[in-house]
Amino acid sequence: MSKKVNIAIFASGSGTNAQAILEYFQKIDWVDIKCIYSNNCEAYVLKRAQNFGKETLTFSREEYYKSDKVIKHLQENEIDLIILAGFMWLVPHKMVERFTIVNIHPALLPSYGGKGMYGHHVHEAVLENKEKQSGITIHMVNNEYDKGKIILQQSCPVLPNDTPDSLADRIHKLEHAHYPPTIEKIAQKLHSKIA
Ligand code: GAR
């Protein structure tokens, strides 16, 4: 039997994207979502992970940046691909150089990216600037926030009476539709190398 592509998901909050990914890959037998990692031990994503019978690992800022706890765990799990799904901390250099890492951002980068631009802050800024459209960006992760190579962008309208919540709902729908199949395409390339 050929080797599976082992995926790690990193998430800090509710984890609707993690849920969409977990559901999508249930039917794909050459991919194994090994573990859900979070910096927030209260995050609802941990509950979602448990509902799928997945292992979870939480860590503090100190452990993330100043120890090898997370990297060691990723290596022990033989992780091939790291997926950031609403993960809010900058990825340390030592992880960027060892792993293929992909992120989803809730706007059309390079606009509305960078430090502090996450979740609702993004949607508030988009509405403040009276943008006519927003969207999602799936991109590779490098050493800077939201600066890695863009893999896919999809746009959606910003409506005159939108609130941050209504815009976030529209963006989440786009994310859930496009993130899992884009991850599958990236995983396919890795699979052809390792299998
Ligand atoms: C998603 O919209 C994701 O794009 C965003 O956080 C949300 C997490 O939602 N990520 C960022 O802002 C990263 N800069 P979820 O927990 O329901 O998946």
pLDDT band at 2 (very low <50, low <70, confident <90, very high): confident
> Using one digit for the tens of pLDDT, what is the confidence trace for 52-66?
999 999 999 999 999
> Using one digit for the tens of pLDDT, what is the confidence trace for 45-104?
999 999 999 999 999 999 999 999 999 999 999 999 999 999 999 999 999 999 999 999
Residue 1 pLDDT > 90: no
Distances (CA, A) of 88 to 6, 44, 111, 119, 194: 22, 15, 18, 9, 30
Average pLDDT over residues 25-46: 97
Give the atom of ligand 1 at the shortest distance from the alpha carbon of 136. Answer: 4
Burial environment of residue 173 by CB neighbours within 10 A (0 to 12, 13 to 18, 19 or more): middle
85 in contact with ligand 1, CB cutoff 6 A: yes
106 in contact with ligand 1, CB cutoff 6 A: yes
135 in contact with ligand 1, CB cutoff 6 A: no
- Residue of minimum CA distance from atom 1 in ligand 1: 86
Percentage of the chain surpassing pLDDT 90? 97
Residue 105: active-site member: yes
DSSP letter at 193 equals H
105 in contact with ligand 1, CB cutoff 6 A: yes
Helices of type H across 13-118: 16-25, 44-51, 61-66, 69-76, 93-96
pLDDT at position 163 is: 98
DSSP letter at 30 equals T
pLDDT at position 194 is: 85
Could you give the 3-state DSSP secondary structure of residue 166?
A: helix
Average pLDDT over residues 158-171: 98
Strand partners, 84: 10, 103
Average pLDDT over residues 147-170: 98
Domains and CATH numbers, the chain: 5-194 (3.40.50.170)
Q: How is residue 55 written in tokens? A: 């292992």
Q: Are 17 and 45 in contact (CB under 8 A)?
A: no
- Residue of minimum CA distance from atom 3 in ligand 1: 86
Q: Are 89 and 10 in contact (CB under 8 A)?
A: no
Average pLDDT over residues 164-181: 98
